[in-house]
Amino acid sequence: MSESPLVDVAYQAIHHKLLNGIYLPGMLLSESELSEELGMSRTPVRAAVSLLEKEGFVRTLKKRGILVQGVEVQELYDIYDLLTALYVFALDRIEEYHYEMDLETLRVYLEEMNRASENKENRKYYECGLMFMRTMLSTIENRSILETFDRYKDKLLFFVVAYRSTAGSNRPYTGKRLYAELLRHFTDKNYSEAKKYLQHFKLGSQEELLRQRQSLT
């Protein structure tokens, strides 16, 4: 993040609206309007936008404004492949070296997901699911794995919240079944079944991602 506090404030404010489905793919934002809304000059806003552009959330169009970018299908597939590989690797290590998973924290995230689905709190629902998986990854205390996960989790969160905010607002919250099954396998230390379940779920998720992406275009 930038050394400038104002750049950080602008970045967090815009980032927050992206992840909450307020700024959706295809929207054009104005640098001057963002500056007025945030109560600061255009210089820190421009720097914040530059950071978000590097992360792939927006693209500056000359003389037109700031375009909120969608997420391409291939990028989504690649992210899912990468994260699944991280999950399987972590479970291999947990099984081999007998790490103790923080099952209580996993249960808390699952309960939060259930409450969020009842209240139709899109971001909280998906964010709790991602934090569930991050908790599992943190078991093996590999900082590089956690940094890699953190680099991509917001991109997934942005996509699914954007989808829910448009075409998918009435779809059921079915992902919580995955986490309930994983928690059961983790509790039983049945890591082989957990890995199989993750691989199976990934294939179904990729098909669903394709349908979601098509509905946003």
Of the candidates 160, 203, 174, which has an alpha carbon nearest to the alpha carbon of residue 70?
160
Domain range for 48 = 5-68
Q: What is 6-20 written as a DSSP string?
A: HHHHHHHHHHHHHHT
For residues 87 and 165, membership in a common domain is answered with: yes
For residues 113 and 168, membership in a common domain is answered with: yes
For residues 61 and 95, membership in a common domain is answered with: no
pLDDT score of 217 more than 60: no
The pLDDT tens digits for 57-96 are: 999 999 899 999 988 888 888 998 999 999 999 999 999 9
The sign one gets for the Cα dihedral 104, 107, 109, 112 is negative
Q: Count Cβ neighbours within 10 Å for each residue of 105-122 and write b for 16 or more, e otherwise.
A: ebeebbebbbebbeeebb
For residues 120 and 207, membership in a common domain is answered with: yes
The amino acid that residue 149 corresponds to is F
1 C-beta neighbours (distance < 10 Å), count:
9
Q: Kindly tell me the burial class for residue 135, based on how many C-beta atoms sit within 10 Å of its own C-beta (0-12, 13-18, 19 or more).
A: middle
pLDDT score of 1 more than 80: no
pLDDT at 71: 85
Beta bridge partners of 120: none
pLDDT score of 171 more than 70: no
pTM, two decimals, is 0.87
For residues 93 and 170, membership in a common domain is answered with: yes
pLDDT at 167: 64
Full strand arrangement of the beta sheet holding 65-68: 28-29, 65-68, 58-61
Question: What does the mean pLDDT of the chain come to?
Answer: 90
The pLDDT tens digits for 5-18 are: 999 999 999 999 99
